[in-house]
């Protein structure tokens, strides 16, 4: 239960994490440093000023300090940051029991109303001359005495209002709200660089987002098979929504047009039911060439590629074709291919997309989908080699567009 009140005394946001806590001390400290840096960067990008930030001595909490007026905007940003479990706007005082009592009464004055039931939730870390229970008893009695005309009742199981007190080392943090983060996950780390191969289907974008949530730094490669300006605007708008979660300032999209290649193939190909498999070979050939091209500043640091395949009949290509072609591409890819969306139902993917942003657009991304599709590795490879399109692919990469989103 939370009390949705932003008090004028609040001057910091207390940040909790969950999954990070399970890591070894060395990994935990590394991730916490990235978490703090990511929050700092995204606050700066959003022009939300902060005074300072620090971590508690026991490494269990992160604190960002603000002017009170900036806290609502900061909350909206921090609760969307990967790695954050929950946050609380708070005030800080010393670990002196008299100061704790005085500041908690200040909070209670704005939180509690007549005939309320309430509970004090006390946590303590470090060496002190009192226990958590003693803090609750002393402060609770002081509140009842101070507001004796309020007819307040203590209810530890189902209180109408709660006030939280966390004594951590030399300082105490007092607050009345616990705001759950939107995503949880792990903080984005620059050593976890991954390509996201996106042909325009929302599943590709969602798959990339899921790897962001697991701490990956993503580099979307937009493979344009449509060459439709209206669709392109919706496509870029979708990635603009994802950029709201990105802490780093160098987020760019690389867009490579292969519509003319597929159009040429479609006009010359005798067996159109193999075109989807050939298209996949072209897309992974593009990724392979980029990985071996030193003109791409990130090329030697990419650790994986992300594919939006999902076995729920939601793609223009049949699931069987997607799966068979993925198996083949995995054998020839220079890096592992992650498929984080593969086990999700169409409904779950839709809910994820809406949760990312209700502004995401779906569009008909491929004009070449045949009525009947087949995948035969040997035949497709023979056709692909016979087409001799390596030079055209290299030209398409050379003519790429690099689009800065942030």
- The CA distance from 95 to 306, in Å, is 49
Q: Give 328-364 pLDDT, tens digit per residue.
A: 777 677 888 899 998 899 899 999 999 999 999 998 8
Specify whether 169 is located in the same domain as 211. Answer: no
Residue 46: CATH number of its domain: 3.30.2130.30
Instruction: Quickly count: other Cβ atoms within 10 Å of residue 180's Cβ.
Output: 12
Nearest Cα residue to 12 out of 173, 176, 247: 173
Question: What pLDDT does residue 382 have?
Answer: 86
Question: In angstroms, how far is the first alpha carbon of the chain from the final one?
Answer: 37
202 domain residue, yes or no: yes
Specify whether 18 is located in the same domain as 145. Answer: yes
Q: State both tokens at 203.
A: 């599943």
Strand partners, 15: 62, 87
Nearest Cα residue to 232 out of 205, 257, 207: 257
- Domain that includes residue 370, residue range: 193-404
Specify whether 16 is located in the same domain as 126. Answer: yes
The residue from 139, 155, 180 where one domain ends is 180
29 domain residue, yes or no: yes
Percent helix, strand and coil across the chain, each to the nearest 5: 45, 20, 40
Q: State both tokens at 73.
A: 């905007």
1 domain residue, yes or no: no
Concatenating the DSSP letter of every residue in 251-302 gives -EEEEEE-HHHHHHHHHH-S-GGGHHHHHHHHHHHHHHHHHT-TTSTTGGGE
Question: What pLDDT does residue 1 have?
Answer: 43
The residue from 125, 155, 180 where one domain ends is 180
Specify whether 167 is located in the same domain as 228. Answer: no
Strand partners, 254: 221, 402
- In terms of phi and psi (left: phi > 0; alpha: psi -120 to 50; beta: otherwise), the region of 185 is left
The residue from 150, 180, 210 where one domain ends is 180
209 domain residue, yes or no: yes
The structure's pTM equals 0.89
Q: State both tokens at 134.
A: 């003693």
Q: Give 74-120 pLDDT, tens digit per residue.
A: 999 999 999 999 999 999 999 999 999 999 999 999 999 999 999 99
Nearest Cα residue to 285 out of 294, 293, 297, 273: 293
Specify whether 155 is located in the same domain as 258. Answer: no
6 domain residue, yes or no: no
- CA torsion sign for 375, 381, 385, 388 is positive
Specify whether 223 is located in the same domain as 341. Answer: yes
Specify whether 302 is located in the same domain as 158. Answer: no
Specify whether 156 is located in the same domain as 197. Answer: no
Residue 243: CATH number of its domain: 3.40.50.620
Strand partners, 174: 91, 165
Domain count, the chain: 2
DSSP character for 229?
Answer: H
Q: List all residues 6 or more positions away from 152 whose beta carbon is below 8 Å from its beta carbon.
A: 112, 115, 116, 117, 118, 143, 144
Alpha carbon distances (Å) from 297 to 90, 291, 324, 355? 42, 10, 32, 32
252 domain residue, yes or no: yes
- The CA distance from 208 to 213, in Å, is 9
Specify whether 155 is located in the same domain as 201. Answer: no
7 domain residue, yes or no: no
Helix/strand/coil (H/E/C) assignment for every residue in 312-331: CCCCCCCHHHHHHHHHHHHH
372 domain residue, yes or no: yes
DSSP character for 55?
Answer: E
Specify whether 112 is located in the same domain as 157. Answer: yes
Specify whether 138 is located in the same domain as 229. Answer: no
Q: Which helix (H) or strand (E) holds 92?
A: strand 86-94
Give me the tens of pLDDT residue by residue for the chain, a chain 406 residues long.
Answer: 445 668 888 999 999 998 998 899 999 999 999 999 999 999 999 999 999 999 998 889 999 999 999 999 999 999 999 999 999 999 999 999 999 999 999 999 999 999 999 999 999 999 999 999 999 999 999 999 999 999 999 999 999 999 999 999 999 999 999 999 999 999 999 999 999 999 999 999 999 999 999 999 999 999 999 988 889 899 999 999 999 999 987 788 999 999 999 998 988 877 788 888 888 889 888 988 888 887 777 767 888 999 888 877 666 666 777 777 777 777 677 888 899 998 899 899 999 999 999 999 998 888 888 878 777 888 888 888 888 899 999 999 999 988 888 6
Specify whether 166 is located in the same domain as 241. Answer: no
């Amino acid at each position: 239960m939370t009390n949705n009140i932003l008090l004028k005394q609040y001057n910091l946001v207390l940040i909790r994490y969950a999954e990070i806590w399970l890591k070894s001390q060395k990994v935990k400290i590394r991730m916490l440093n990235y978490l703090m840096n990511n929050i700092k960067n995204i606050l700066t990008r959003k022009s939300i000023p902060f005074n300072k930030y620090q971590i508690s001595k026991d490494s269990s909490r992160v604190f960002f300090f603000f002017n009170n007026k900036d806290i609502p905007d900061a909350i909206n940003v921090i609760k969307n940051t990967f790695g954050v479990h929950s946050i609380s706007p708070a005030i800080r005082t010393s670990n002196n029991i008299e100061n704790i009592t005085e500041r908690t009464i200040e909070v209670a004055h704005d939180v509690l109303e007549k005939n309320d039931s309430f509970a004090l939730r006390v946590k303590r870390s470090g060496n002190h001359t009192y226990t958590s229970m003693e803090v609750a008893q002393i402060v609770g009695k002081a509140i009842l005495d101070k507001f004796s005309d309020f007819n307040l009742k203590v209810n530890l199981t189902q209180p109408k209002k709660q006030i939280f007190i966390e004594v951590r080392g030399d300082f105490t943090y007092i607050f009345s709200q616990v705001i759950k983060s939107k995503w949880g996950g792990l903080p984005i780390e620059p050593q976890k660089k991954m390509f996201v191969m996106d042909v325009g289907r929302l599943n590709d974008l969602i798959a990339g987002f899921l790897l962001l949530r697991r701490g990956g730094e993503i580099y979307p490669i937009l493979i344009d098979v449509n060459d439709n300006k209206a669709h392109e605007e919706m496509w870029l708008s979708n990635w603009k929504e994802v950029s709201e979660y990105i802490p780093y300032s160098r987020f760019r999209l690389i867009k490579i047009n292969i519509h003319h290649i597929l159009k040429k193939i479609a006009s010359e190909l005798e067996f159109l039911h193999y075109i989807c498999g050939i298209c996949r070979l072209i897309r992974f050939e593009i990724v392979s060439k980029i990985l071996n091209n030193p003109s791409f500043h990130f090329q030697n640091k990419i650790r994986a590629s992300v594919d939006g395949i999902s076995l729920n009949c939601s793609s223009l290509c049949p699931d069987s074709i997607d799966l068979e072609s993925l198996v083949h591409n995995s054998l020839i890819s220079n890096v592992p291919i992650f498929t984080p969306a593969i086990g999700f139902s169409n409904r779950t993917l839709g809910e994820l997309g809406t949760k990312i942003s209700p502004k995401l657009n779906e569009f008909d991304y491929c004009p070449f989908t045949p009525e009947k599709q087949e995948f035969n590795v040997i035949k497709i490879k023979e056709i692909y080699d016979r087409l001799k399109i390596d030079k055209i692919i290299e030209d398409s990469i050379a003519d790429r567009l690099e689009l800065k989103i942030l």
